[in-house]
A = this chain, B = another copy of it.
Amino acid sequence: MPDDPGRRERKKQATRQALVAAAVRLFADRDYDEVSVADIAEAADVSKRTFFLHFPTKEDVLLADGAGRAALAVRAVEERAPGAPLSETLAAAADRMITSAEADLPTGLAALRARLVVTSPAVQARVLHTTFAAQTRITAAVRDAYDLDDVTAAALVGALMGAISAATITSLERGDTPEETLAAMRTATSVALRCAVTPGS
């Protein structure tokens, strides 16, 4: 498959991967705040300036793929079956994201990220923010697909994403296994989509 991206592009990706790899390696040993961008750049044998050519902030080196996750959900909305009910479409979007999260469980990256989200406020804030950005794009897709007004669409998607985020972080903070965390995400989805839970009332 000579899908040749050119040598220049290949080298660029190599540098990027080296930075991610160096970051993962260093964060595995030390706490988030004890690793500086200069350290990461040094370990990847590039200049600090180069780091910021590849990642806008220090946190982003850990979130390399987050944007792709939202794209999956957007596609799930756009490719819905004709006439599919809203709740079904939302469920499908959530399922795509959760399944994709499942995919990178085997790489230790998921666990590392989980630890850092729990221990570092800066990372947690960044995750919340990128999640919210993703949410905005999903909201637009849902709004257009079902001809809703802005606020209703935002509330619907916000409820779904809010439930999943909260449940995920709760599970991580509790020290759950990755499988348990995935189960928590699925539970949250059904809680948000059918409000018919209320066991205690």
Interface on A for B, CB 8 Å cutoff?
Answer: 84-87, 121, 124-126, 128-129, 132, 135, 139, 146-148, 150-152, 154-167, 169-171, 174, 184, 187-188, 191-195, 197-201
11 new A-B contacts, CB < 8 A, other than A150-B171, A154-B188, A161-B162, are A87-B201, A125-B129, A128-B128, A128-B129, A146-B200, A155-B167, A158-B162, A158-B166, A159-B166, A159-B192, A160-B162
Q: Nearest chain-B residue to A176 (Cβ)? A: B151
Q: Are A155 and B85 in contact (CB under 8 A)?
A: no
Residue of B nearest to A135 (CB): B166
Query: Can you list 8 A-B contacts with CB-CB less than 8 angstroms, sorted by A residue number?
Result: A132-B166, A147-B200, A148-B199, A150-B171, A155-B188, A158-B188, A159-B166, A193-B195
Residues of B contacting A188 in the complex (Cβ-Cβ under 8 angstroms):
151, 154-155, 158-159
Cross-chain contact B87 with A156 (CB below 8 angstroms): no
A170→B149 CA distance, assembly (Å): 11
Other-chain contact of A155, B128, B148, B163 (Cβ < 8 Å): B163
Quick check: A86 and B201 within 8 Å, CB to CB?
Answer: yes
A157 touches B148 (CB 8 A): no
Among A121, A171, A191, chain B packs the most CB atoms within 10 A around the CB of A191
Give the distance to chain B from A119, nearest Cβ to Cβ, in Å: 14
| B139–A129 CB distance below 8 A | no
